[in-house]
């Protein structure tokens, strides 16, 4: 509040001091040009001195304004830097690098993993084509199982667009681990592009924007570490978790969703 009052006072002082100085400089220049000051010896003799004095005052004002504007600009920059403080973004140029990164984070996870693995037509094994991608994907699935069997709470939400996804869910259920939890949606629009992401320890979100089955061009794979951004993804996951159907939570198991998905897929084949 005090800073704002000082700012207002300074602005008014600038207005009331600067205008008279400019006006006086203008009058002296005009009167001197027409010789109106020749009879006033004090002024006519000291015109260079007066001009220098007034110019100095203007110069001091300009320097002061420039300094304040620079400080204000630096403050804005510092504010901008603070707003992204702690932001760590990593872009994955290919699926191999992404799967390897997730595998490493599975190994280092300490508290909880939240995994939103929407399904789409042509996902899973069909998404990997090169030998490097296949190896990285196989290791990703292995590390996922290991992560779910250690003292880390693992929450996963799935949709079931293919028999492979149902098999993958059943493999996870066979682990019969208290820490692994699974919910799902039996029916989903498989053609709708979805954002797939995994949150590690509520501190990092790793996501990929699949365009399957339409295209794979321009798919974005990224990891972000930032408290507020991760919180946004966490809130979205929590909302989906609450609305999804239970398949396994702690010791409670209900495979109705999987059975419904199996029947639906059999009917479409």
The pLDDT value recorded for residue 36 is 64
More confident residue, 218 or 44: 218
Cβ neighbours of residue 43 under 8 Å, at least 6 residues apart? 28, 37, 50
The pLDDT value recorded for residue 101 is 96
Q: How far apart are CA 259 and CA 206, in angstroms?
A: 30
Whether residue 163 contacts residue 72, with contact meaning beta carbons closer than 8 Å, is answered with no
Whether residue 173 contacts residue 189, with contact meaning beta carbons closer than 8 Å, is answered with no
pLDDT tens readout for residues 84-112: 567 888 999 888 999 999 999 999 999 99
Residue 162 has pLDDT above 90, yes or no: no
3-state secondary structure the chain: CHHHHHHHHHHHHHHHHHHHHHHHHHHHHHHHHCCCCCCCHHHHHCHHHHHHHHHHHHHHHHHHHHHHHHHHHHHHHHHHHHHCCCCEEEECCCHHHHHHHHHHHHHHCCCEEEEEECCCCCCHHHHCCCHHHHHHHHHHHHHHHHHHHCCCEEEEEEECCCHHHHHHHHHHHHCCCCCEEEEEECCCCCCCCCEEEEEECCCEEEEEECCCCCCCCCCCEEEEECHHHHHHHHHHHHHHHHHCEEEEECCEECCHHHHHHHHHHHHHC
Residue 244 has pLDDT above 90, yes or no: yes
pLDDT tens readout for residues 168-207: 999 999 988 889 999 998 765 556 667 889 999 999 999 9
Q: What are phi and psi of 207, to 5 degrees?
A: -140, 160
Least confidently predicted of 40-49, 129-138, 163-172: 40-49
Among 3.90.1210.10, 3.40.50.1820, 3.40.50.970, 3.30.870.10, what is the CATH number of 88-268? 3.30.870.10
Rg (C-alpha) for the chain, rounded Å, is 34
Cα-based angle 186, 188, 196 (whole degrees, multiple of 5): 105
Task: Give the mean model confidence (pLDDT) for residues 8-17.
Answer: 59
More confident residue, 152 or 3: 152
Confidence band (pLDDT; 50, 70, 90) for 47? low
Residue 133 has pLDDT above 60, yes or no: yes
For the chain, the structural domain boundaries read: 2-83, 88-268
Q: How far apart are CA 158 and CA 21, in angstroms?
A: 74
């Amino acid at each position: 509040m005090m800073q704002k009052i000082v700012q207002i006072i300074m602005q008014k002082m600038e207005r009331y001091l600067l205008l008279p100085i400019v006006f006086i400089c203008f009058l002296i220049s005009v009167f001197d040009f027409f010789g109106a000051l020749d009879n006033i010896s004090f002024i006519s003799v000291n015109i260079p001195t007066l001009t220098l004095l007034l110019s100095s005052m203007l110069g001091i004002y300009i320097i002061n304004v420039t300094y304040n504007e620079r400080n204000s600009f630096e403050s804005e920059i510092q504010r901008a830097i603070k707003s992204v403080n702690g932001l760590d973004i990593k872009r994955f140029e290919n699926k191999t690098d992404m799967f390897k990164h997730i595998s490493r984070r599975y190994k280092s996870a300490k508290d909880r993993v939240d995994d939103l693995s929407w399904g789409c037509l042509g996902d899973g094994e069909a998404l990997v084509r090169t030998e490097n991608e296949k190896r990285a994907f196989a290791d990703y699935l292995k590390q996922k199982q290991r992560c779910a069997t250690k003292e880390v709470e693992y929450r996963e939400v799935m949709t079931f667009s293919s028999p492979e996804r149902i098999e993958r869910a059943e493999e996870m259920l066979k682990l019969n681990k208290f820490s692994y939890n699974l919910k799902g949606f039996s029916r989903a629009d498989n053609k709708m592009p979805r954002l797939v992401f995994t949150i590690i320890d509520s501190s990092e979100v790793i996501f990929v924007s699949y365009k399957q089955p339409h295209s794979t061009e321009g798919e974005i794979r990224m990891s972000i570490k930032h408290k507020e951004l991760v919180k946004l993804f966490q809130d979205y996951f929590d909302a989906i978790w609450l609305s999804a159907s239970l398949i396994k939570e702690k010791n409670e198991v209900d495979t109705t969703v999987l059975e419904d998905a199996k029947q639906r897929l059999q009917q479409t084949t």
